[in-house]
């Protein structure tokens, strides 16, 4: 015979109620907030060209913006440093790859003998 599920009251009930209360608060905030009407861009302007002009601090472009050249170069230097660091970390130390001569025999080391 099967038994019916029972509600166990205890110390685990409080965190569950707090989670439900947090969900309700977040749902009210998200559903109650709104965004303003979108402004859009002036007709006839190239948005892609304006982004390029803004990135390199060029005066043309039609859409006013801040210059991003310094930020662009800073990100470039950081990404290159991260790439070099990743390559250095990925390289294994002490794992020498044995060279093989063109005829398939073992390569000779600096002393003239075979490895």
pTM of the shown model: 0.34
* Rg of the chain over all Cα atoms, to the nearest angstrom: 32
Q: List residues bridging with 114 in a β-sheet.
A: 108
- The ranges assigned to domains in the chain are 47-90
Backbone region of residue 57 per phi and psi (left: phi > 0; alpha: psi in -120 to 50; beta: other values): left
Closest by CA to 72, choosing from 93, 101, 91, 51, is 51
Cα separation of 22 and 16, whole Å?
A: 10
**Span 10-44, pLDDT tens digits:** 777 888 899 999 999 999 999 998 888 877 777 88
**Span 72-111, pLDDT tens digits:** 888 999 999 999 999 988 886 655 555 555 566 665 655 5
């Amino acid at each position: 015979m099967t038994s019916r599920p029972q509600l166990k009251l205890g110390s685990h009930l409080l965190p569950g109620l707090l989670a439900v209360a947090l969900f309700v608060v977040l749902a009210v905030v998200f559903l109650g907030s709104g965004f303003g009407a979108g402004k859009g861009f002036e007709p006839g302007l190239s948005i892609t060209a304006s982004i390029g002009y803004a990135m390199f601090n060029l005066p043309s472009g039609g859409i006013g913006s801040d210059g991003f050249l310094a930020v662009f170069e800073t990100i470039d230097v950081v990404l290159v440093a991260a790439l070099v660091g990743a390559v250095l970390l990925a390289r294994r130390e002490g794992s020498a790859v044995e060279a093989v001569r063109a005829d398939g025999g073992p390569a000779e080391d600096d002393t003239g003998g075979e490895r």
